[in-house]
Structures are given as structure tokens and as C-alpha cells.
A and B are shown apart, each in its own frame.
Chain A
Amino acid sequence: MTQVVPLRARPSHEATTARIGMIVFVAGWTMMFGALLVAYLLLRTGQPEGASWPSAGLPRVPRALPTVATCVLLASSGTLALAVGSIRAARPRALIRWLWMTLLLALVFLGLQTTTWLRMRHLGLAPGASLYASSFFGLTLFHALHVIVGMLGLLSLLPRSYRGAFSAHGHTAVQSWALYWHFVDVAWIAFYVAVVVW
């Protein structure tokens, strides 16, 4: 048992497997976010006729903050795309810079979301106050959880970036997390339209 056998797929497959794996993952997660959206649509359209949304007497969540948050998250997708572009152009220093930039924007996004939640509580919109508040809290918290997972993923790329482990042709992990991040971003836009704008 002294023989050390690397227990992994042949290196030549890594790019392919990572891509397929990420596609399947995104497909599955699209179903999960989709199911939540469908649930929300069914609940909202199932309200008794004439009932207002939010229910009468309840304040609406102010739209300004979430809108700013949306822009910040979109920007973070942009900076992450720049990060991927940098490593593809063999500029590892730029990769590190853009990764930090993305993480910073993600943190701002979470900060804005938290402010929104706190303001909602202030307005009397606790999660149990009404279906309106329930959906807002439920969907945004669920999404924020995915942002946090994405941030952890991006953080995990940093040590390897500093070590110079990524190259123009070997940066599958960066690409995978970028795909995840863009997915979380697109999902947010759907949620934003559904629970904030509409």
C-alpha cells in the first residue's frame, strides 16, 4: 500500500468534466429557483380577487435599496468576467485584483440586503406578517445564502491565485465559480422583478 496512486480523473478530462458538472448543477439549481418562483406566482395569483398586494394596511418594501443592490450585483458579475478574462490573458495579478473587487461588491450587496431586511422589520413587515412579507423574506434570504456560498467559493480561489496555481490554460475552478456566480446573478434579477418591481 505504499504506492501512491492519484485518485482522480485523467487530467485531460478535467476541463470537460468541470464544464458538464457545472451545466448539470446550474440546470438543477435553475429548477430549484424556478420552483420557488412558480410557488410565488401561484401564491400571488391565487390571492382572492380584489385583494391588494401587499394586503391592505401593510407598507410596501421600498424599492430604492434593492434596486441599488441589483446594480451592485450586476457589477460584481462584470468584475468577475474581467477576472476570468485576465487569467485567460495570462495576467494572474489582474485576476487577484478583480477577484477582490468582486468579493467587495458582493459584500456591499449583502450589506444593502441586510439594511432592507432591517428596514422591513422596522416597517412591521416581519416574515410572518403576511404572505407578501413571507415571500420577500423567503426568496431574498434564500438567494443571499447562495451569494454567501459563492463568496466562499471565490475566497477559496484566492490562495491558489496567490500561489500562481492558475494559468491561461488551467483555470477550471475559476471558470466554474464564475459560472455559478453569473447564475446567482441571473436568479437575482428574476427574483428582483418578481418580488420587488412587480
Chain B
Amino acid sequence: MKLPRVFSLDHKVIGLQYLWLGLVGLLAGGIMSMLIRFSVANPGQPVPLLGVLFGPSHVISPAAYTQLFTLHGTVMIFFAITPITIGAFGNYLIPLLIGARDMAFPRLNAASFWVQFAASLVLVVAAFDPSVSVSAGWTAYPPLSTTIGTPGLGLTLWSLSLILAGTSSILGAINFITTTLALRAPGMSLMRMPLTVWGLFLASVLNALFVPVISAAMMLLLSDRTLGTRFFIAQALVPGGGDPLVYLHLFWIFGHPEVYILILPTWGVISDLFAWYSGRPAWGYRRTVAALCAITLLSGVVYGHHMYTTSMSPLLGRGFMVLTMVISVPGTVMFLDWMGTLWRGKIRYEPAMLFSLGVMVVFAAGGLTGLYLADVPIDLYLHDTYFVVGHFHLTMAAAVLLGTFAAIYHWYDKMFGRTLDRTLGQLHFWLTLVPLVVVFVMMLWMGHVGLPRRLYDASTYEVFRPLAYINRLATWTAYVLGLGQLVFVWNFVASRFIGAPARANPFGFPSLEWSTSSPPPTENFAEEPEVVRGPHEQDGNGGYLPQRKVDPS
């Protein structure tokens, strides 16, 4: 039986399906962020252009605002970043970079895409449910997220959607881990894998282990919402009730590894790109791998720093403070390795490289601001303020967004067989990096003044009224950022048709995917590649020796 191409089992087709799905999510999440910024700067004012979304008054109500920031977080994390960095790059790149013909379980692979697709549809229905109840924040702390705090079908569907998206992630992770471990081409030892594959592999390990935890939490929440159970409805509210803090534990046991799930693929990608665009070996390759593994291990034991202000025991809080800081050691190692790669590099300022350098800058800023938040005494002041918003947007939103663009610019030729416009790419870089940094640094600033996040109208509080100026400035900067992305949309879509046809290996990159055509044929390689060296071995003339054994003929 021949299935239509849309149900293809080819990892490249599925990868591109993930890419499109994720880009649509990114667009939706991006538009939401613009609406949030508009509302924050002009609460109660009619929205220009998109006002119809908010009823005849065109005004974002408090209900609509809470729904917007809930959906923005949910969509960006589970329906934009995850499908792009892990779904699309993982699917497209892992088999190509390790010299496999396809994923280990092609049918499971297609299934995970379609489950993710179903999850997206459920979320869309939830978002347009007239109850406007997807409004408990993406963290959905109970009892606000139970029917006591937020009745309505919307939030119920939201938790169902997250269970589906989680299932998709777990199925994908099973595939990625198995493929990486079992289907490497002859000669492709683990220590010859490009760091991109390492990043994706470790992200998959975390996905396989920690996404089940949030699935469990979501199932208990869903059960509270539909079956009338009372896991998270507190004693104080109903006799014989449960404890909302249990949800917080489960949520953050997943939630902290999740930020590493989101950033690990980016770290892997830019570790490779720094080398490939500067003609250098990835400096301290083994050490970088060790650092990535150490971060992966530690990521599971630091989650308590999200709960310093709760009734969690202060002693536990101190323990988590120490563990959280320990994670900065492998982080520093990785960062120094990047510096070592760039040092004495012959840099080529292709858009992919620019975006990678951008990741380094925003990640340095974001990572360092973590130092404030890890400290309990400072966190009690900064917790739930814009400082936290600025911090996590720099580390996991800005860094991941830039890393995603870096990967798209780097592999677009391979994926689509066409070339992106270089100048537009560079323009896009500056239109992205500068406003990103400005917006989130302004958020850090407003947070350090004490401005709480998730306020519909901050002018309730006199002490924050002077911040209205900065708030408005941040909003205008965000508009610039949003408009700047149109350059990318044009470049991405138009190059598909009018871009110059891509050559198999335009820049002499050494990794396996460049030893086959652009785009690669079904099953990737005409003959099984044999790997004879690591991914960044120099040829002595400023270029690289290909990883694949070259036939003398």
C-alpha cells in the first residue's frame, strides 16, 4: 500500500513536517508576545490590526491577558522550540550526521509527529474555547488550575494537549536515543559524533526521563478537573483534600531539566558551528562532551530553586542553592571551550556563524544573571519579577531562538536544496540580536526595581508607575524585533523558489551530511558511509578532512 507523501516514514520528510509545525507555532507564539507587550504598555486600550481577536471592543481584557501569557509560554516551549530544535533538527540531522539510512523506528517516528500534530489541534481548540480559561499560567499551579480556581473546558483541553505533546516527546526520544546508539555508520564512534548529535542525544535522554514526570502531574491535574479527584485541592478547601505543593514538586522536577532539554540542542549546534566557521577543531571536544553530560546529570537535582518562596523547608532551599551553583562549573567549562575554539580562528561571518556568536553573547548574559537568582536572599526579592522573565528569556528564549536560526541558516541548503540570501541573513541577525538583548535587559532592569511579572496593569502600584517609560520602550523594541522577523520569513519562503540551487558541499564542511546531495536522496547515502575521523579535523590548508572515507577512484 502506498501512503500519500504526507504520511511518509522518511526521517527527512518528518523532520521538515516538524519544522513547518514548529515555525507556525513560533509565529503564533511571537504574535502573542507582541500582543502581550502591547497590553502591558497600554492596558485597556483597543488593539490595532488584530483587535478582532478580542471581541467588538478590540480591548485585551484581564482574562484575555492571562490567557495570552499562558498560551505564549505553552506554545513557545511545547509547540515551537521543542518541535523545531528536537523534532525537526533531531529528525533531520541525527541520521544524516551519524550516517544512518533512517531512524531506528520510522513508524514510531511518524506516530510521534502526528501525536504532536494532534496535541497542537487540541491546544487550538482550547485557545478558542469561549470559557477563556487557558489562564493559569504555563506553570498552572493548583488550586488555581483546578476547577476551583479556573473552571472551563479550555484548561482541561490544555492539560490533555500537554499530555499528548509529552507522549510525542517521549516517543521521539526513544527513537533518537536508539538511533544514536545503534545505527551509527561503521567507524562513527561516539567520540566522532558532531557535537550537534551529542546535544540532541542528551536532550533526548532528559526528554525520556523527565517528560514522563510532567505527564504524571498533568494526568493527576486532568483527573482533578474531570473525575472530581482531589490530589491538588488543598485540605483547607475541602475535607480530606490533597496538597498543591506536590504538583509544584512534580512540575519543577520536570521543569528544570526542561530548560536544558530546550538549550542542549542549541549548545551542540553552536559548538560545531564555531569550529566549522572558524576553521578550527572544536577545542576540547571530549571535555565539552563531558561538560554536556555533567550538566545533563545535574539538571535533575536543582529544581528546588524554583520554590524558594514556598513552604518548602528552608534547609532544602539551601541544599538546592548549592546544587544550582555547582551546575555553573560544567557550564563554565563549556563556555571556555567555545572561547578556545574561536581563539585563533579564521572566522567566516556567514549568518549561521553570526547567530552562533549571538547565542554566546545572550547566553553569557542570561547565564550570569542566574547567579543572582540562585541566591535565596536575593531570590526572595527577585522571584516572580521581571528579573526572572528577563533571565529565562535570555537563556532559553533568546539563546534558543538564535541557535535555531543558526541551524536553519547552516542546514537550509541541505534541507531544501536552495540557498538562502546571505545579506538578508546578516540583516536578519542584527534585527534580531539587538532588539532581543535590549528588550530582555530592560526586563532585567524593571525586575531589579521590583516589578512583578504577569500584572495586567502595573500602574496599580504607585512604586512601579515610573517604569511605564521603560515598559513602553521595551514594547517598541519588541515591535522592531517582531518586524525584523519578516526579513527571515521572506528569505525562508522565497529562497525555496528563487534561491540559487545548493551544491552538495558549498563550504567544504567535513561532516557526513555534506557527502551526499542537497537535499539527500531517500535513505540518505548511495552507499553506506565509512567514517575514518572526527568531525573537525583540519587539512592544514584552512579546510577540513571529510569524516567519510573517500574512494580512491
Contact = CB atoms under 8 A, between A and B. Distances in A.
A7 B208 contact: no
A132 interface: yes
A131 B240 contact: yes
The prevalent SS among residues of B at the interface is helix
The residue in B105, B178, B211, B243 that gathers the most chain A C-beta atoms within 10 A of its C-beta is B178
Contact of A10 (B101, B177, B227, B249): B101
- Give the 4 A-B residue pairs with the shortest CB-CB distance, closest first: A128-B228, A32-B212, A130-B240, A134-B229
A72 B390 CA distance: 55
B216 interface: yes
A92 to B, nearest CB: 25
Interface of B: 9-10, 100-106, 108, 170, 173-175, 177-179, 181-183, 208-213, 215-217, 219-220, 223, 227-231, 235, 239-243, 245-246, 249-250, 253, 522-523
A127 B209 CA distance: 29
A21 B104 contact: yes
B467 to A, nearest CB: 39
B250 A35 contact: yes
A134 B487 CA distance: 53
Interface string A25-36: 101110111011
A27 B104 contact: no
B174 A25 contact: yes
A74 B355 CA distance: 56
B523 A46 contact: no
A54 B239 CA distance: 12
A27 B106 contact: no
A45 B208 CA distance: 28
Contacts of A58: 240
Nearest to B11: A7
A76 B9 CA distance: 35
B523 A17 contact: no
Interface string A75-95: 000000000000000000000
A45 to B, nearest CB: 10
B215 A7 contact: no
A5 interface: yes
Given A7-B522, A17-B178, 10 more contacts: A7-B102, A13-B182, A24-B178, A25-B174, A28-B212, A29-B212, A55-B240, A131-B240, A131-B242, A133-B229
B212 A131 contact: no
Contact of B105 (A10, A17, A54, A55): A17
B256 to A, nearest CB: 14
A135 interface: yes
B216 A7 contact: no
A17 B104 contact: yes
A7 B242 CA distance: 50
